[in-house]
Amino acid sequence: MLGLTLIVVTGFLSCTGSRKAVREPIKEQGPEFLTNKLKEHELKFDQFSAKFNVTYQVDRKKTTVNGNLRIEQDSIIWISITPALGIEAVRLMLTPDSIKFINRLSNTYFVHDFGYINQLLNKTLDYDMAQAFLIGNDFSLYESNTFKASVENQQYKLNTVNRRKLRIFVRRSEEEISIPIQSIWLDPGSFKVSKVMLKEAERDSRKFQANYAEFEKVMEELIPTILEFRVETDEKKISIKIKYSKIQLNQDQTYPFRIPESYTETKELQPKK
């Protein structure tokens, strides 16, 4: 009799525990509520720095390197890449106007306006987007009043078409920039961005996806430490996985970028051998 009672009690407790583990459906919210929550919980900083390990894969070819990332909000993205033995191979600096690149392996350097990246990727990209992708924020210079809201896989989803850059932030040298299709997924607990997808058009196979995971609290700010980017076109598939460590916020830092006089200027980021 005692054995039967224990079996019944154990079964009851296990069933009760299972019920508690099931997540209740999240309540639908409107786009204004979600965009406000998104802005409220985005990463706020003046200076950002982190060490990183990145695995870059094009089709089946995979490369892994380490490096350091420094960001001065809305001004500079500085990246140093060290493939092995802590010896720097590449240094890259992005500003809203320019891209600068030093290749210490070939003693070459490259300087161009930011539009070169659009030509290289055959895609619309600006400094604001690049900064947002690296820290898991939404774009700050683009309109946010055209989103539609829904719930998908227990996360909030914001979706919009032809999202345009606010005119006050469009530079004279820029063409009018817009994002054909954009979707943003938000974690319902933290309202942090968990995934972003950009597409050229409904029937276009080209798309970009960013995923963010394993958030770490630094100075009361939640920051993703695992970032995965995927670019798909008819010709190739590119996958980039970044793992951040030793993240710091608002610490004094420098952005050194001196081109040695002996280096040769190239017209391409990857000079032909």
- Strand ranges for the chain from DSSP E: 47-58, 61-72, 76-82, 90-94, 98-103, 108-113, 148-152, 155-164, 178-186, 193-199, 207-218, 221-232, 237-249, 264-265
Length of the chain: 273
Q: pTM for this one?
A: 0.85
Cβ neighbours of 154 (radius 10 Å): 11
pLDDT of residue 4: 35
Question: Which DSSP helix (H) or strand (E) runs through 131?
Answer: helix 127-135
Give the separation between CA 128 and CA 123, rounded to whole angstroms: 14
Q: How far is CA 214 from the centre of its chain?
A: 14
> pLDDT tens digit string along 93-114?
999 989 999 999 999 999 998 7
Give the CA distances from residue 209 to residues 14, 21, 23, 45, 265, in Å, rounded to whole numbers and listed in that order: 39, 30, 26, 24, 33
> pLDDT tens digit string along 124-163?
788 999 999 999 999 999 999 999 999 999 999 999 998 9
CATH of domain 29-251: 2.50.20.10
* Regions of the chain with pLDDT less than 70: 1-23, 118-123, 171-176, 202-205, 269-273
pLDDT of residue 75: 96
Q: What is the DSSP letter of 177?
A: P
Cβ neighbours of 29 (radius 10 Å): 16
Domain extents in the chain: 29-251
pLDDT of residue 267: 79
pLDDT of residue 176: 64
Give the separation between CA 139 and CA 196, rounded to whole angstroms: 11
